[in-house]
A and B are shown apart, each in its own frame.
Chain A
Amino acid sequence: MYQQTSTDFSSNRPNRPNRPNRPNRPNRPNTLGATASNYFYLEDISLKFGNIPALSSIQLTIERGEILFITGASGAGKTTLLKVLAGHTKVDSGRVESPCFMRNGPFISEIFQDLRLMNKASCDDNLNISYDPALYAKKADFEQDKQELCRILGVSDRLHLKAQDANGGLKQKIAIIRSLLCKPDILIADEPTCSLDVENAKKIFDVLNLYNTKRGLTVVWASHNRDLVKQFTGRIVHLDGGKLVYSGHACFI
């Protein structure tokens, strides 16, 4: 039976009184099947679009601070799985535990396949949408972060361009920077480097890797380019026809 529940991330509830220590149960699944260190827990989920199975019996756990690559051919179910993780799509059966169902949970930022930029606005304005005064003490801090990311990804000199006039690579970089500027806890990226060459893709991975190391950012990255993601460090989950056929680190493939 289908159920969607939110995982109890105790560290995200600072006001909750501490419970007595339970030394032997640090990562043991609780009654819902998730642990405190898990962000996502999918248990035997299936989803059909009409008669076409999009996802079949997927069992997946994504831990906090993990970098996970979802690979597979076009139509394998990568985007559908990301939508399920982000809470945009409900599954037909199985259990989904995701932070998007909880109040004041970890913040999820997404890089969409269609990028979702404001075409009539400049690239700079598109980045400014991420300026949340609740996150940045001063606007200058935000500007500093923005300039830093733009410098690393080599777009500083093209921020004045309107998004509709920007090329595919620039648009993709803008979408990635915008997602990072909102300081997310989890980044869900759907083919974030499909318009970029290998060098730029590596640069982006380096940035994400840095955010992962420094800020504990959890990255879920969907890509059809398996050879590319093999070069990165992180767990790879391979989908084929909506089924999860492999889960493991790149070095073991």
Chain B
Amino acid sequence: MFYLAQFFKALKIAPVRGGLFLISTFLLLISLGEMDALEKKYFHSENARMTGAYFYALISSKENNLAVARKLRVLPGVEQAITLSEKKIKLEVERLLGAFKKDLATELQDELHNELKNDLINLEFTGIKVVFQENITQRTQQLIRDYLSRLVGTDKVTLGPIKKPNEEFKKNAQLALFLKDWGIIGVVFLCVLFWFSSLQIFSKVIAKQSYLLEQFQRKKFVRIKILGVGPLLALAFGPLVMFIFGQPQEVNLLFFTGIACLGLMTQLRKSTWNT
């Protein structure tokens, strides 16, 4: 309680530097404790590993495209099978029609609308984007397409041509892959750096205060005890915030405790008046 009071006294003396220390401590805790959740939320990209050739398949919406995609994913040579919703496909059709001149588009839409009314063309499709692994043979690609046709039924599926991703897409995919692998680690590293810097800055604020307390009260290591209040507050109240993102990772909370202890150890030197 004494050190908590001293911590808030120091916050009152230097609100900016103290606030920075407190914020950086919470950021470090959240970045470590919610590493997986943050990685999925901000650095996960479906394009990350999809640098191989791909094709689209339109499947009747009466079929369960999720089950089809699941079966495709376990096939050797398939990197990813992404389901496309009916709504998304309709939007794509509208986008394609929008590319025509306005009067022509209206004409086509009317035409399609009439045909839909007459039930001559059924546009109720869902889709699947099948991405192959890189460097697989054309024969394997063809076998996968045949499997899909047989699985759904040839009259219920329309397969698009096999396309290769362009260089720009590949570059983007490489960047996405890099971010997926290193993004969250970078964020945590920055949080650690930020925390250590703010610890040094705030430590200077409380140097004289802790020196006087050590001189005139029978107390020792006052500085690290006051600084230790920050991580303790974060550990006490941080998990409440962390549940917004999901279940905190307990092991990483231990890492946080370790880093906090390491940081505090750097402040283990005896306080002096001239620090």
How close is A137's CB to chain B, nearest CB, in angstroms?
15
Quick check: B218 and A129 within 8 Å, CB to CB?
A: no
Q: Report chain B residues within 8 Å CB of A95.
A: none
Quick check: A132 and B217 within 8 Å, CB to CB?
A: yes
A20 interfacial by beta-carbon distance below 8 Å: no
How close is B90's CB to chain A, nearest CB, in angstroms?
68
Complex alpha-carbon distance, A190 and B20, angstroms: 39
Complex alpha-carbon distance, A110 and B214, angstroms: 11
Complex alpha-carbon distance, A107 and B220, angstroms: 12
B208 interfacial by beta-carbon distance below 8 Å: yes
Quick check: B273 and A116 within 8 Å, CB to CB?
A: yes
A109 interfacial by beta-carbon distance below 8 Å: yes
Q: Report chain A residues within 8 Å CB of B172.
A: none
- CB-nearest residue of chain B to A184: B216
How close is B249's CB to chain A, nearest CB, in angstroms?
39
A179 interfacial by beta-carbon distance below 8 Å: yes
B interface residue count range (under 10 / 10 to 19 / 20 to 34 / 35 or more): 10 to 19
How close is B265's CB to chain A, nearest CB, in angstroms?
21
Quick check: B212 and A129 within 8 Å, CB to CB?
A: yes
Quick check: B2 and A129 within 8 Å, CB to CB?
A: no
How close is B200's CB to chain A, nearest CB, in angstroms?
21
Quick check: A110 and B215 within 8 Å, CB to CB?
A: yes
Q: Report chain B residues within 8 Å CB of A132.
A: 216-219
Quick check: A109 and B216 within 8 Å, CB to CB?
A: yes
Quick check: B215 and A133 within 8 Å, CB to CB?
A: no
Chain B 183-226 against A: per-residue CB contact (8 Å), 1 yes, 0 no? 00000000000000000000000001100110111110000000
How close is B272's CB to chain A, nearest CB, in angstroms?
9
A interface residue count range (under 10 / 10 to 19 / 20 to 34 / 35 or more): 10 to 19
Chain A 135-164 against B: per-residue CB contact (8 Å), 1 yes, 0 no? 100000000000000000000000000000
A102 interfacial by beta-carbon distance below 8 Å: no
Quick check: A118 and B212 within 8 Å, CB to CB?
A: yes
Chain B 1-41 against A: per-residue CB contact (8 Å), 1 yes, 0 no? 01000000000010000000000000000000000000000
How close is B41's CB to chain A, nearest CB, in angstroms?
45
A238 interfacial by beta-carbon distance below 8 Å: no
Q: Report chain B residues within 8 Å CB of A171.
A: none
Kindly identify which residue among A107, A116, A120, A181 contacts B218, using a CB–CB cutoff of 8 Å: A107
CB contacts under 8 Å to B, within A89-113, are 107, 109-110, 112
Complex alpha-carbon distance, A112 and B2, angstroms: 26
Q: Report chain A residues within 8 Å CB of B216.
A: 109, 129-130, 132, 178-179, 181-182
How close is A130's CB to chain B, nearest CB, in angstroms?
4
- CB-nearest residue of chain A to B1: A133
- CB-nearest residue of chain A to B2: A133
- CB-nearest residue of chain B to A114: B273
A134 interfacial by beta-carbon distance below 8 Å: yes
Chain B interface (Cβ < 8 Å from any Cβ of A): 2, 13, 208-209, 212-213, 215-219, 273
28 A–B contact pairs at CB < 8 A?
A109-B215, A110-B215, A112-B273, A114-B273, A116-B212, A116-B215, A116-B273, A118-B208, A118-B212, A120-B13, A129-B212, A129-B213, A129-B216, A129-B217, A130-B216, A130-B217, A131-B217, A132-B216, A132-B217, A132-B219, A133-B2, A134-B217, A135-B218, A178-B216, A181-B216, A182-B216, A182-B217, A182-B218
Chain A interface (Cβ < 8 Å from any Cβ of B): 107, 109-110, 112, 114, 116, 118, 120, 129-135, 178-179, 181-182
